[in-house]
Amino acid sequence: CKVTAQLLTSVTIYTVHKGVYSQSVNLALRGTSSQSSTYNELGAAENAIDGSSSANYMSKHCSHTAQDAPPWWRLDLTKVYNVQRVKVTNREDCCSERINGAEIRIGEGDARKAIDGYLNNDAAGDQCAKTKEEPDPWWKLDLNSDHKILSIAVTSRGECCDAPIKGAEIRVGNSNTSWKENPVCGTISSMDPGQTVSFYCNGMVGRFVYIVIPDDTRSLSLCEVQVFGVPTDKPIVNLALRGTSSQSSTYNHLGAAKNAIDGSRSTNYMSKHCSHTAQDAPPWWRLDLTKVYNVTRVKVTNRGDCCSERIDGAEIRIGLSPEHGGTKNPKCAKITSLGLGEEEEYICGMVGQYVTVTIPDRPEYLTLCEVKVYGEEVIGNYTGTSSTYDYLGAAENAIDGSRSTNYMSGHCTHTAQDAPPWWRLDLTKVYNVTRVKVTNRGDCCSERIDGAEIRIGSSPEHGGIKNPNLYIRPGNASDKLTHFLENVIPLVLTYRVRCVR
């Protein structure tokens, strides 16, 4: 597969619309454009249809992708046209050979057939969406605004085989440019021909729904996709503006921790709108949201006047512990790199009160010119785990009221193979806990819970595992374990249960 970058200086389109000849009107000016990626701020997709005759890339009138495999640029004419001719202008300041071999493709875009309301699952009947055979084939639905997604139903093609959909991932999030940045709702392990299967997303919030077959070169076929959810009626609020910040140290009077949440768009450190630590090992910056939130996404803006590489390898961590600057809380994302003044969004979907940016493993300066945090306040009891094995094993599944003990039903929690693994419940108020009931997994692996400890106390630190130990379960675990606590413990804020898969 040839890997190259694509650059267009101008695209002009002349057409017939509904059989009426259009006199030399450039319809590209009426459309909207997009591309596989954007090389830098000079190369936006819309530059190729801005009407300018400039062919110098530095003039900001040309589009430019990264070195994609394959690169593409797309124009949506917003209506169906009989396209008579297309004019393309190449870059003139260098690199003219890069466009060699480029293809112009025109069509109606059958992606819409997957949401046409027809459950006809015969691909030959022209009611199914289908990609060409390509690496990581994907289909995307734009809901136009954030929605809380409850479930997604997918219908496979009916005349044969599950190969065009087997292994596909359903992802929900706010990234319009990269499906990899959106969290996974479900994975299609297999489907019978013509079958409709529902995947429960448990209120994941996002604007875009992707269905993608990752790490494979195949054709993706979808005969119908149904998305069930509700619009998020609350305005999107930057929670960072409500919080308080601190950091491992302060480089000088210009770099206070609070500067990273002052709402300013300035990325020049000398403007006094960026935070800055000394060369700590490790440096950290922490935001206290003052309440517990389900943090859906975090935006980080890098310094714009120099030293962009200093943030390389930084981690975003979210959790309930303020200790060590929050650097021991679960990791949301790793910042591989950011350009000068660049802002990047990271999808989290994690519960916590503290949001930390830290650079592990090396002494470094940490400079942040803005941190934005978005999410919803957690009302009532909330849970957390040392980690989450996959999308089926969310911490809240252990308190959803379901009696199902089959992990595949999506009603059990599941950590990774941690040392130690833990599951924690915060009751939000102080209670005298008289008894705790624990239900073990029923489909396999009952022995994994052997030796688990139930701990109750007032400390949320380290997942609550340092609280007093009320009971140690020996070996010989049964499917249902009921523990009556002989001692009533006053001043109890939380109870902790070690939970393994």
Task: Tell whether 411 and 352 lie within a shared domain.
Answer: no
* Cβ-based neighbour number of residue 229 at 10 Å: 20
Q: Where are the beta strands (DSSP E) in 302-362?
A: 314-319, 331-335, 343-358
The first and second tokens of residue 99, run together, are: 């466009």
What is the rounded average pLDDT for all residues in the chain? 81
CB 492 within 8 A of CB 431: yes
- The pLDDT of 46-65, averaged and rounded, is 91
Distance CA 56, CA 296 (A): 40
Kind of pairing between the strands at 275-276 and 224-231: unpaired
pLDDT at 376: 81
Distance CA 11, CA 108 (A): 18
* Any domain includes 197: yes
Q: Which of 42, 67, 99 is the last residue of a domain?
A: 99
Per DSSP, 354 falls in state E
pLDDT digits (tens, 9 = 90+) for 252-266: 999 999 999 999 999
pLDDT at 360: 95
- DSSP assignments along 52-99, one per residue: -----GGGT-SEEEEEESS--EEEE-SS--EEEEEEEE--SSS-GGGG
- The pLDDT of 444-458, averaged and rounded, is 89
**Which residues does 17 contact at the CB level (< 8 Å), separation at least 6?**
79, 80, 81, 82
Q: How many domains, the chain?
A: 4
* Any domain includes 466: yes
Q: Which domain holds residue 248?
A: 239-377
pLDDT at 294: 83
Task: Tell whether 372 and 396 lie within a shared domain.
Answer: no
* Any domain includes 289: yes
pLDDT at 492: 26
pLDDT > 50? residue 182:
yes
* Any domain includes 84: yes
Residue 479: which pLDDT band, with cuts at 50, 70 and 90? very low
pLDDT > 70? residue 383:
no
Task: Tell whether 144 and 89 lie within a shared domain.
Answer: no
* Any domain includes 104: no
Task: Tell whether 198 and 145 lie within a shared domain.
Answer: yes
Residue 245: which pLDDT band, with cuts at 50, 70 and 90? very high
pLDDT at 358: 98
- Measured CA angle at 254 (ends 252, 255), to 5 deg: 75
The CATH number of residue 359's host domain is 2.60.120.260
Kindly report which listed range (20-24, 123-127, 398-402, 489-493) carries the lowest average pLDDT score.
489-493
pLDDT > 90? residue 312:
yes
Task: Tell whether 149 and 198 lie within a shared domain.
Answer: yes
One-letter amino acid for residue 176 of the chain: N
Task: Tell whether 114 and 201 lie within a shared domain.
Answer: yes
Per DSSP, 100 falls in state T
Helices (H) and strands (E) in the chain, counts: 0, 29
Task: Tell whether 133 and 163 lie within a shared domain.
Answer: yes
pLDDT digits (tens, 9 = 90+) for 137-149: 899 998 888 888 8
One-letter amino acid for residue 482 of the chain: T
Cα radius of gyration (the chain): 26
Per DSSP, 475 falls in state S
**Which residues does 454 contact at the CB level (< 8 Å), separation at least 6?**
436, 438, 469, 470, 471, 473, 483, 495, 496, 497, 498
- DSSP assignments along 376-441, one per residue: EE--S-EEEES---STT--GGGGGS------GGGT-S----S-SS--EEEEEEEEEEEEEEEEE--
Per DSSP, 313 falls in state T
Q: Which of 350, 377, 404 is the last residue of a domain?
A: 377
The first and second tokens of residue 227, run together, are: 């998305």
- Measured CA angle at 411 (ends 407, 415), to 5 deg: 60
Task: Tell whether 67 and 146 lie within a shared domain.
Answer: no
pLDDT at 256: 97
Task: Tell whether 250 and 183 lie within a shared domain.
Answer: no
pLDDT > 60? residue 114:
no
pLDDT > 60? residue 489:
no
Q: Which of 53, 69, 99 is the last residue of a domain?
A: 99
The first and second tokens of residue 297, run together, are: 């996404």
Task: Tell whether 127 and 212 lie within a shared domain.
Answer: yes
pLDDT at 70: 84
CB 300 within 8 A of CB 318: no
CA-closest candidate to residue 390, choices 211, 187, 121: 187
- Measured CA angle at 244 (ends 239, 246), to 5 deg: 125
**Which residues does 501 contact at the CB level (< 8 Å), separation at least 6?**
389, 393, 407, 412, 414, 415, 441, 445, 448
pLDDT > 50? residue 482:
no
pLDDT > 90? residue 278:
yes
Say which residue, 385 or 424, is predicted with more confidence.
Answer: 424
Cis peptide before 70 (omega within 30 of 0): yes
Task: Tell whether 128 and 87 lie within a shared domain.
Answer: no
Q: What whole-number percentage of the chain has pLDDT above 90?
A: 35
Q: Using a CB cutoff of 8 Å and minimum separation of 24, what contacts does 28-34 make?
A: 28/75, 28/77, 30/77, 30/78, 31/75, 31/76, 31/77, 31/78, 32/75, 32/76, 32/78, 33/63, 33/73, 33/74, 33/75, 33/76, 34/73, 34/74, 34/76
* Any domain includes 105: no
Residues in the chain: 501
pLDDT at 475: 44
pLDDT > 60? residue 470:
no
Task: Tell whether 158 and 243 lie within a shared domain.
Answer: no
pTM above 0.85, yes or no: no
